[in-house]
């Protein structure tokens, strides 16, 4: 390059040996999505303007949303990309100008998505017997390979057919068992960057309650202060709560009933005939509920409700003595005279025992108080 000026009778010519040179540091630009990075454009030589151009070839001006350019001094200008988006990828150019000269350099900016766990909750709960879909949603560019581990060993899906890594990276466990409970990890790898990240996922298996009535039939006696104890023992995970119903009414502790803290025992006080019937114990937990019936039978002790005294004369042909009784089951009534017990339907003794009465047996079907 030569610049010449008129000077009297001669021209003075300056030979500019230092032509403009431009370089960008760093020379390669890989930015993780959302991260920020800057590039410095260094100019050798006297540059008047140093300008940056975006991948679309437009000069970067101050009103860009997330890309800023600043001239630092005579020879450098900085391009800063804040919170990079995929739209920021491409070839950026730095151009230096001086009168009669220009020089440029470019840098390729690649935006990549580093391994990001979008959805990998812990704990994840399943019911025993379910086909469990362990969720681990990972995004990355290029896509990551997913490896599942259980208690730090890689799950070999070829060895155990119950396990399968799905297309979307989830782990499927067919018919999950209580024994499958524990700590899993979902490990994502991007081979091209040697990038690796993982999440621990605690797997909890809930087990449907099972219920065993201690007795499926309970006998009680109707009497003042009489009680009956009904009991159902429950298993399951988490520990089930047990409740009781009778005629679709939930029974709570109070004057009539006493339900134990864990619900397994129901005490019924002040036994009455009306308490007879089916009682239901219900065990519930997260996995679901089970119920069992316990039947309560209430016996009512026999009670003689009517018995008349009779006086008869020696010449009477027939005397009727009546006895009525209640109870449940219906009591049978027996008559006796001295050592003699009459059998049912017997037309008593026609012979006059000693000098006394004629006896006629009268059985009365006593009705239970229902």
Ligand X SMILES: *[C@@H]1O[C@H](CO)[C@@H](O)[C@H](O)[C@H]1NC(C)=O
Burial (CB < 10 A; 0-12, 13-18, 19+), residue 282, is buried
Q: Alpha-carbon distance 310 to 262, whole Å?
A: 60
**Which of 216, 211, 213, 224 minimizes the C-alpha distance to 297?**
216
Q: What distance in Å separates the CA atoms of residue 135 and residue 127, rounded to the nearest whole number?
A: 15
Task: Select the span of 101-109, 168-176, 215-223, 304-312 touching ligand X (CB under 6 A).
Answer: 215-223
**Residue with Cβ nearer ligand X (226 or 288):** 226
Residue 283: strand pairing partners:
242, 290
Kindly give, in sequence order, each residue whose CB lies less than 8 Å from that of residue 217, ignoring residues fewer than 6 positions away.
Answer: 294, 295, 297
> Interface residues for ligand X in 111-150 (CB under 6 A)?
none
Tokens of 229: 């104890």
Q: Give the span between the Cα atoms of 91 and 23, in whole angstroms.
A: 14
Query: Shortest Cβ distance from residue 348 to ligand X (Å)?
Result: 31
Of 28-36, 203-211, 213-221, 315-323, which segment contacts ligand X by CB under 6 A? Answer: 213-221
Piece in contact with ligand X (CB under 6 A), picked from 113-121, 164-172, 212-220, 282-290: 212-220
CB nearer to ligand X: pick between 72 and 215: 215
d(CA 286, CA 127): 8
Closer Cβ to ligand X, 66 or 219, answer by number: 219
Report the distance separating Cα 203 and Cα 176, nearest Å.
10
Residues 274-303 that bind ligand X (CB under 6 A): 297
CB of 72 or CB of 221, closer to ligand X: 221
Minimum CB distance to ligand X, residue 277 (Å): 15
Nearest-approach distance from CB 219 to ligand X, in angstroms = 4
Q: How far is the CB of 248 from ligand X (least distance, A)?
A: 25
Residue indicated by tokens 């803290």: 261
Rank residues 215 and 320 by Cβ distance to ligand X and give the closer one: 215
**Smallest distance from ligand X to CB 215, Å:** 6
Structure token pair of residue 63? 């009103």
Q: Residue 215 interacts with ligand X (CB under 6 A)?
A: yes
Tell me which stretch binds ligand X (CB under 6 A): 29-37, 56-64, 187-195, 211-219. Answer: 211-219
Of 217, 262, 316, 369, the residue at the interface with ligand X (CB under 6 A) is 217
Nearest distance, CB of residue 297 and ligand X, angstroms: 6
Nearest 5°: phi and psi at 349? -90, 130
Q: What is the chain's percent helix, strand, coil content, to nearest 5?
A: 0, 50, 45
The residue from 18, 21, 219, 322 that contacts ligand X (CB under 6 A) is 219
List interacting residues with ligand X (CB under 6 A): 215, 217, 219, 297
């Amino acid at each position: 390059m030569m610049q010449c000026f008129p000077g009297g009778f001669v021209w003075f010519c300056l030979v500019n040996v230092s032509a403009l040179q431009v370089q960008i540091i760093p020379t390669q630009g890989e930015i993780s999505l959302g991260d920020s990075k800057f590039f410095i454009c260094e100019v050798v030589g006297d540059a008047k303007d140093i300008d940056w151009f975006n991948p679309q070839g437009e000069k970067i001006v101050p009103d860009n949303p997330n890309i800023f350019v600043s001239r630092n001094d005579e020879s450098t200008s900085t391009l800063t990309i804040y919170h990079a988006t995929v739209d920021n990828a491409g070839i950026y150019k730095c151009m230096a100008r001086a009168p009669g000269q220009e020089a440029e350099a470019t840098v390729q900016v690649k935006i990549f998505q580093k391994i990001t766990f979008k959805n990998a909750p812990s704990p994840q709960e399943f019911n025993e017997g379910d086909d469990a879909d362990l969720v681990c949603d990972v995004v990355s560019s290029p896509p990551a390979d997913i490896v599942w581990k259980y208690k730090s060993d890689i799950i070999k899906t070829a060895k155990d057919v119950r396990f399968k890594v799905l297309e979307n990276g989830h782990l499927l466990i067919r018919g999950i068992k209580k024994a499958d409970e524990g700590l899993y990890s979902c490990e994502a790898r991007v081979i091209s960057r040697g990038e690796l990240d993982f999440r621990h996922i605690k797997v909890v298996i809930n087990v449907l309650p099972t219920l065993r009535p201690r007795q499926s039939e309970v006998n009680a006696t109707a009497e003042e202060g009489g009680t009956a104890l009904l009991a159902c023992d429950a298993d399951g995970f988490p520990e089930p709560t047990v409740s009781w119903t009778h005629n679709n009414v939930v029974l709570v502790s109070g004057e009539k009933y006493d339900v134990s803290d864990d619900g397994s025992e129901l005490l019924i006080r002040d036994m009455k005939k009306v308490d007879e019937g089916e009682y239901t114990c219900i065990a519930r937990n997260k996995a679901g509920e089970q119920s069992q019936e316990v039947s309560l039978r209430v016996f009512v002790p026999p009670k003689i409700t009517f018995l008349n005294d009779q006086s008869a004369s020696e010449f009477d042909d027939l005397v009727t003595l009546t006895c009525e009784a209640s109870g449940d089951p219906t009591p049978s009534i027996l008559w006796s005279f001295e050592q003699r017990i009459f059998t049912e339907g017997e037309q008593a003794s026609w012979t006059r025992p000693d000098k006394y009465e004629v006896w006629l047996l009268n059985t009365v079907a006593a009705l239970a108080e229902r």
